[in-house]
Amino acid sequence: MDDYNPEHITEDFSREIETEPGSEDRYFNRELSWLGFNERVLEEARNAAHPLLERLRFLSISGNNLDEFFMVRVAGLKGQQLQGVQMRSFDGMTASQQLAAITDRANALMDEQQRVWIELRDALADAEISVLENDDIDGETDDWLANHFSEHIFPVLTPQALDPAHPFPFIPNKGFSLVFDLERKEDGAPIRELVMLPTTLPRFVRIPGEVVRYVAIETIIRRYTNILFPGYDVVGGGAFRIIRDSDIEVEEEAEDLVRYFRSAIKRRRRGRVIRLKLEADIPDDMEELIRREMGGEDVIVAESSGFLGVADLEALVEEDRPDLKFPPFSPRFPERIREHGGDCFAAIKAKDIVVHHPYESFDVVIALLKQAAEDPDVVAIKQTLYRAGKQSAVIRALIDAAEAGKSVTAVVELKARFDEEQNLLWANALERAGVQVVYGFIEWKTHAKVTIVVRKEDDGYTSYCHFGTGNYHPITAKIYTDLSFFTADPRAGRDAAQLFNYITGYVKPENLELISMSPRDLRSDLMKLIDDEIAHERSGRDGAVWAKMNSLVDPIIIDKLYEASRAGVQIDLIVRGICCLKPGIEGLSDNIRVRSVIGRFLEHSRIACFGNGADLPNKNAKVFISSADWMPRNFDRRVEYMMPISNPTVHAQILDQVMVANLIDNEQSWELRSDGSYRRLQPEDRPFNLHRYFMTNPSLSGRGQALQEQGSVPKKLRVKRRG
């Protein structure tokens, strides 16, 4: 059985796959490409087409993204630098070179965030939502805030003197602290005090009244230091915020994965400080102390003259101003299920179904699980759980099924970053209900999103399968665009069963009939599909590839796409985030175009389409959905799937609607240039917004009429690349 255990593969910060000598200039740097993505997110905060509070939400998201980037990616590079690791990234940069480039660009991004915040703060004030500074507070407002401070903030704060008797306290990840230099009024004796802002306190306090006014908690604390430090005068001070290394590395010798993660989560809270953000006007000696206590020369320091903790601006977005937010949108419940009176099994057995989230409700997945839990003919349910959320109806349905006597197996991925603790809680709840909980491989993550429901029927046992491109997470399913594919095809059921047996028992899949799997053959199968397009082009037919994903990093796949481009294959890629491929370079990637879509919904589905001897779209094209991005980790260190779509209706829905709409969008799309910069597309006289299109057009999972009745997409905007 040891032969079936995953081999050790190093983290993808380093060069895992050898490329040709001198080939470094063939790829964009992974980390800098990610920063480029976050710059595009930040630009949406300036997009006047979005309502004001939604623009503020984009600013907040850019702050949260940057925090997580330092917590994981930069932390990994910093670890390499400190350990003297000399391995280079695919584009030829050492860890130190990458850190230098990241620091410069991240600092520029942080400065831009502050400029955007000033713009939005002024616009909010014009919209009668004010964020008050200290000089704006007077009269009754001052009286109310002083009372609020005394009753609700002061009891929670714990000032700590910084002297030899009181060593510098531990500051948690994302911890925000104020430091004050004080002099005793009586004799001028100096003292330095640190005040950590407890996470239990809101970052903003709303002042009562019809006029909407907020005050940041640090502004309030600084204003009422006479209450916090009676008998002292403030002579100096500053604020700082830290980011800690928050990644969890799984050790090969971990004997008990659950116990290991419980311990690792606790250790993560005390991870090495990676980034220190300081107020720009902090006194020099105070800055020196904080730097020394937070890690000295090893910490990455940034100074800001504006608002620290941009992610916290999300709190202001919750203000009840529907006129400043996107119009409410209610997803449709799939028509195909309604046609069968809500009977999921009958609808799926009649014909394969694709559901397009968030335009169509994730409730259909819950409905399938609930029906399975209640149906006396259902004998077994198997499901992978990567991220399920905190209030998960999915977990409730699995518990109900187990308590009803079904055989229920849940593959809970403990290594889902930042969801480890929640997944441990779900695993305990599931086990208490009688669910067989499996944690998968020690080194690999189970990232495939698959469910099997086995039902006893008149003609034997039928396996009803769900293959998703996104997580079983009811909350993110409202804002992430993903596909849910439902089928009762016996071949899919047999393949899915082998996938589960591989995860639960290390039983290697053999003779898979439909799906490709990572780390088994997904990369090689993709390369063969691209090779087929190259062969078509060389034989005088047309070769074409369309693909949609979150990230494109894998150098082997990138090189194969370069080869296809040189052969004349027309390649259109929709890559929301990281893209290490360089498009439009003469003699290398002339025939490759890359776009990124950033808008109201987060593009998350993974789709791959191959022309099969003709330009795309065409009815004979090969169409696949997948759980995997095209990254080394997805191919080598994760259990993933790729599923071919053969049903003509579903095939047309994914290819002629979803993919075409993504490729012709010109209101929220960016084009990647060969130098690594992105250009926002301009609608000109033919505007098309793919999110608006799917919010207003008939359901994908209807009778297949949308293609005929609506023309799938406006014909005048159809994608044409040749001639």
Catalytic (active-site) positions: 447
Which position has the token pair 């850019």? Answer: 62
Q: Cα(359)–Cα(329) distance, rounded to whole angstroms?
A: 9
DSSP string, 544-570: EEEEEES-B--HHHHHHHHHHHHTT-E
H or E element that contains 314: helix 314-317
**Length of the chain counted residue by residue:** 723
H or E element that contains 636: helix 632-636
Q: Cα(453)–Cα(15) distance, rounded to whole angstroms?
A: 41
Which of 456, 450, 449 has the alpha carbon at shortest distance from 496? 450
Three-state DSSP class for 493?
helix
334 phi, psi to nearest 5 deg: -55, 130
CA 72 to chain centre: 13
Q: Cα(244)–Cα(253) distance, rounded to whole angstroms?
A: 25
Residue 416 in tokens: 């889902």
CA 307 to chain centre: 24
Phi-psi region of 353 (alpha: psi -120 to 50; beta: other; left: phi over 0): beta
Number of neighbouring beta carbons within 10 Å of residue 109: 19
Question: For the chain, what is the radius of gyration of the CA atoms?
Answer: 27
Residue 17 in tokens: 């796959």
Phi-psi region of 10 (alpha: psi -120 to 50; beta: other; left: phi over 0): beta
Q: Are 402 and 428 in contact (CB under 8 A)?
A: no
DSSP string, 121-137: HHHHHHTTEEEE-GGG-
Q: Cα(166)–Cα(168) distance, rounded to whole angstroms?
A: 7
Q: Cα(494)–Cα(369) distance, rounded to whole angstroms?
A: 20
DSSP for residue 702: S
Q: Are 543 and 611 in contact (CB under 8 A)?
A: yes
Q: CA separation (Å) from 63 to 60, 66, 487, 535, 597?
A: 5, 5, 40, 46, 19
